[in-house]
């Protein structure tokens, strides 16, 4: 077990990583979710940074739509992820995600869960 901790002193475990992966896998095309939103859904409110660390370690073979996970302001991931912000933006635009004039995602239109039922278990 790693000895990393969440803000709430919950250890980062393989179970947390699996929960994050499961949530990310369900983000639909044309939608994005924030790191904090995923942390909350995984049962660890306040662990947005830890979700970012999990996203940075996702193995390519998992085929998770990590490009759909963004900052709460709609800012794209740092340049080291996805081959750079331009690549992430292209991937999102191909799914119909629109951007504001300042380059941020239009979160009012594309944040997963806005006006939708969020559930992992039907």
Which residues are identified as catalytic? 66
Residue 26 buriedness (CB in 10 A; 0-12 / 13-18 / 19+): middle
User: What is the three-class DSSP state of 15?
Assistant: helix
104 Rama sector, left if φ>0, alpha if ψ -120 to 50, beta otherwise = beta
How far is Cα 50 from Cα 53, in angstroms, rounded to an integer?
A: 5
3-state secondary structure of 106: coil
3-state DSSP percent of the chain in helix, strand and coil, to 5:
40, 10, 50
């Amino acid at each position: 077990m790693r000895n990393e901790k969440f803000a709430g002193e919950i250890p980062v475990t393989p179970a947390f990583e699996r929960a994050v992966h499961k949530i990310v896998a369900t983000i639909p095309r044309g939608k994005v979710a924030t790191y904090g939103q995923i942390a909350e859904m995984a049962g660890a409110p306040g662990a947005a940074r830890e979700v970012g660390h999990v996203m940075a370690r996702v193995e390519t073979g998992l085929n998770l739509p990590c490009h759909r996970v963004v900052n709460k302001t709609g800012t794209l991931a740092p340049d080291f992820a996805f081959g750079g912000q331009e690549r992430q933006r292209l991937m999102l635009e191909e799914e119909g995600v629109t951007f504001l004039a300042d380059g941020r995602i239009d979160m009012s239109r594309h944040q997963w869960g806005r006006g939708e039922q969020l559930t992992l278990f039907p």
